[in-house]
Amino acid sequence: MYAAACSEKIVLVRNMRLVLLAFTANAIVGPLVASAAMTVFGNGVLMWPLAIASGALVAFTFGIYEGKREH
């Protein structure tokens, strides 16, 4: 993030546009894929990936917190 902020303005604008495009594409495609998976496998199929992603996010957040605390 710091490197992007210190770069030229054109590079920063391009990077922000890429982030916006990626977010927009995922916002459109994600629910379509989830709907298809729920239709094929049932409504409970999406709970396991959500639980795994949530656990990974918690572990990552605690890892960052512990890393900052040590310094």
Domain boundary assignment for the chain: 2-70
At residue 68, does pLDDT exceed 80? no
Percent of the chain with pLDDT over 90: 32
> What pLDDT band is residue 2 in, cutting at 50, 70 and 90?
low
Query: CB–CB of 37/46 below 8 Å?
Result: yes
Predicted local distance difference test score (pLDDT) of residue 22: 94
At residue 41, does pLDDT exceed 80? yes
Kindly list the distances between the CA atom of residue 46 and the CA atoms of 23, 31, 53, in Å, as whole numbers in the listed order: 20, 11, 11
- The arithmetic mean of pLDDT across residues 21-48, rounded, is 89
